[in-house]
């Protein structure tokens, strides 16, 4: 039998998500984008990671502090910047949600 007991904290102030990018974009480009994002928003961006997310896509996964602005506004703003960096045709979408449940 599997027990369902665990320690988790619901965080409505943390947004989690990812951007999907064609795997033809070199990983160093994605690493540079993520590094620049951390530099631009050090007080908001909690974590960022690059990973494979589908057969022909890589993902930029992130968690950031929600400041009351619309998630959609942030994703369009950051998405436009990503498109300018790697080319609009290389960005395949994004996913974002809140709350985030932190497992302890």
Whose tokens are 């497992």? That residue is 103
Question: For the segment 40-75, what is each residue's pLDDT rounded down to a tens digit?
Answer: 989 989 999 999 998 899 999 999 888 776 667 788
Distance of CA 57 to the CA centre of its chain: 14
97, β-bridge pairs: 16
Grade residue 6 by pLDDT with cuts at 50, 70 and 90.
confident
Count of domains for the chain:
1
Domain with 17 in it? 8-103
Task: Quote the pTM value.
Answer: 0.85
Question: Among candidates 4, 67, 81, 3, which has minimal Cα distance to 36?
Answer: 81
Helix (H, G, I), strand (E, B), or coil: what is residue 69? Answer: coil
CB 51 within 8 A of CB 61: yes
CATH classification of the domain holding 72: 3.30.70.260
Within a domain: 2 = no
CB 19 within 8 A of CB 84: no
**Count of positions (residues) in the chain:** 104
Q: Please tell me the distance from the alpha carbon of residue 39 to that of residue 75, in angstroms, as a whole number.
A: 17
């Amino acid at each position: 039998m599997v027990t369902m007991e665990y320690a988790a904290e619901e965080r409505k102030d943390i947004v989690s998500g990812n951007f999907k990018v064609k795997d033809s974009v070199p990983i160093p480009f994605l690493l540079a984008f993520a590094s620049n994002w951390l530099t631009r928003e050090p007080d908001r961006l909690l974590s960022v990671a690059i990973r494979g997310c589908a057969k022909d896509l890589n993902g930029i996964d992130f968690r950031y502090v929600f400041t009351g602005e619309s998630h959609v506004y942030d994703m369009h703003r950051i998405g436009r910047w990503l498109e300018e960096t790697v080319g609009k045709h290389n960005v395949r979408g994004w996913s974002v949600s809140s709350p985030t449940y932190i497992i302890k």
